[in-house]
């Protein structure tokens, strides 16, 4: 059929048969290089080189720093190919430590969903903040958390306040209830990435039974680190947290009917959702990596010159020549 408009290729997958390289006759030198994140979000570059004299082989590399490391490179070469190589850690230090284990988060019911709330300071007019508005005061508890990106149409997902307006938003839960955790989904301009420690906004949560006497439940910590992100949380492709649903979990639940979010911000701040959870749990969850079976590793494949996983394609599975296929279709 004829093509009347533009077209493009979204993705291409290629499979090839290949010959396995000749078995190494000399020991291997394996070098991992990584960046260790510090608490202030700076990084320190380190590496480790291991001499592997026989396969299969396993060994442990201890990585330091305050947060998950950034792997920079992996280099494998025959012994002596790179001249004199220093084995072990680049700085001569084995930091030791325990194996990192992630955590699985379980979220309870949002008891603030559908509840009414009030502002101490009205949001900016719609025309001043890219279409953001909340005329009926329903968006912050409509049970719809905003996007994981900020900018453009996402600003319409909730009200926005100009710098220094510092609203106090009070939710009426209808009756005293047990509150175990609080959440706030924020975005803003200029954009600030929490995983890089850029967010400077401050939000304190206060609770009350009667709406008159409020007690502080704590402050949100907007400094995110990869080690603290639950393993069952899926972040965006760019690995940014410029719009995020932040968590303030309590050591023990508190009883409250009124929950107040006290905001202090020097930028144009948008909020798309406020949540009050009746429960929250975070348990260790090890994302285990299965190592190759030592009983099979190192064994020669059935055919030494062909990949053991090579797929044998049938004629019906082989692709047609793109040019000929296009010409044939264009004549129909």
For 117-169, the pLDDT digits (tens) are: 999 999 999 999 999 999 999 999 999 999 999 999 999 999 999 999 999 99
Higher-confidence position of 41 and 307: 41
DSSP classification of residue 51: E
**Residues 92, 174: one domain?**
no
- How far is Cα 213 from Cα 182, in angstroms, rounded to an integer? 19
Residue 23, in any domain of the structure? no
- Percentage of residues in the chain with pLDDT exceeding 70? 85
- Residue 46 to residues 40, 64, 69, Cα–Cα distance (Å): 18, 9, 10
- How far is Cα 295 from Cα 76, in angstroms, rounded to an integer? 23
pLDDT score, position 143: 96
Residue 313, in any domain of the structure? yes
pLDDT score, position 290: 72
**Residues 120, 75: one domain?**
no
pLDDT score, position 332: 39
CA atoms within 13 A on the CB side of 139: 20
The pLDDT confidence band at residue 61, using thresholds 50, 70 and 90, is very high
189 in the Ramachandran plot: left (φ > 0), alpha (ψ -120 to 50) or beta?
beta
Residue 332, in any domain of the structure? no
In the predicted structure, residue 33 carries a pLDDT above the cut 60: yes
Burial class (CB in 10 A: 0-12, 13-18, 19+), 34: buried
**Residues 206, 249: one domain?**
yes
Compute how many other C-beta atoms are within 10 angstroms of the C-beta atom of residue 151: 15
Tokens of 146: 């905003």
**Nearest in space to 199 (alpha carbons), one of 270, 104, 117, 286:** 270
**Nearest in space to 182 (alpha carbons), one of 207, 209, 214:** 207
CA atoms within 13 A on the CB side of 273: 24
**Residues 72, 148: one domain?**
no
pLDDT score, position 23: 62
pLDDT score, position 16: 73
**Residues 204, 237: one domain?**
yes
**Residues 261, 306: one domain?**
no
pLDDT score, position 7: 67
Residue 155, in any domain of the structure? yes
**Residues 192, 91: one domain?**
no
Average pLDDT, the chain: 89
In sequence order, the β-bridge partners of residue 187 are 270
Structural domains in the chain (count): 2
**Residues 237, 215: one domain?**
yes
**Residues 133, 261: one domain?**
yes
- Predicted confidence (pLDDT) per residue in 76-93, tens digit: 999 988 888 999 999 999
- How far is Cα 211 from Cα 16, in angstroms, rounded to an integer? 69
**Residues 148, 239: one domain?**
yes
3-state class of 326 per DSSP?
helix
Residue 260, in any domain of the structure? yes
pLDDT score, position 325: 44
Least confident of 12-16, 192-196, 264-268, 284-288: 12-16
Residue 116, in any domain of the structure? yes
- Predicted confidence (pLDDT) per residue in 234-288, tens digit: 999 999 999 999 999 999 999 999 999 999 999 999 999 999 999 999 999 998 8
Residue 2, in any domain of the structure? no
**What average pLDDT score do residues 307-316 get?**
70
**Nearest in space to 266 (alpha carbons), one of 213, 190, 175, 170:** 190
The residue count of the chain comes to 332
In sequence order, the β-bridge partners of residue 263 are 203
pLDDT score, position 257: 98
DSSP letters spanning 98-133: PPP-EEEEEE--BTTTT-EEEESSPPPPGGGTTT--
Q: Can you give the residue range of the structural domain that contains 255?
A: 105-285
């Amino acid at each position: 059929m004829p093509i009347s408009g533009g077209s493009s290729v979204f993705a291409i997958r290629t499979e090839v048969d290949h010959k396995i390289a000749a078995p190494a006759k000399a020991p291997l030198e394996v070098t991992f290089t990584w960046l260790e994140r510090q608490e202030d979000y700076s990084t320190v570059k380190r590496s480790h080189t291991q001499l592997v004299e026989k396969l299969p082989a396993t060994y442990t590399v201890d990585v330091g720093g305050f947060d998950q490391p950034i792997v920079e490179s992996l280099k494998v070469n025959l012994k002596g190919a790179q001249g004199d190589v220093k084995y072990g850690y680049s700085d001569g230090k084995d930091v030791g430590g325990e194996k990192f284990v992630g955590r699985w988060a379980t979220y309870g019911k949002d008891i603030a969903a559908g509840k009414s709330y009030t502002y101490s300071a009205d949001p900016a007019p719609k025309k001043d903040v890219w279409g953001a508005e909340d005329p009926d005061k329903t968006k912050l508890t409509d049970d719809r958390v905003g996007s994981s990106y900020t900018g453009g149409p996402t600003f319409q997902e909730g009200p926005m306040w100009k710098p220094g307006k510092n609203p106090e938003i009070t939710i009426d839960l209808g009756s005293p209830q047990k509150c175990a955790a609080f959440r706030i989904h924020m975005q803003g301009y200029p954009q600030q990435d929490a995983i890089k420690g850029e967010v400077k906004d401050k939000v304190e949560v206060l609770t009350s039974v009667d709406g008159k006497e409020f007690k502080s439940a704590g402050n949100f910590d907007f400094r995110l680190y990869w080690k603290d992100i639950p393993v069952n949380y899926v972040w965006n492709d760019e690995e940014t947290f410029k719009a995020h649903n932040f968590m303030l979990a309590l050591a023990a639940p508190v009883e409250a009917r009124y929950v107040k979010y006290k905001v202090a911000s020097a930028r144009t701040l948008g909020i798309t959702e406020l949540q009050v959870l009746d429960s929250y749990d975070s348990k260790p969850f090890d994302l285990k990596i299965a190592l190759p079976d030592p009983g099979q590793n190192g064994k020669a494949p059935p055919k030494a010159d062909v990949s053991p996983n090579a797929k044998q394609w049938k004629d019906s599975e082989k692709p047609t020549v793109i040019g000929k296929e296009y010409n044939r279709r264009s004549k129909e």
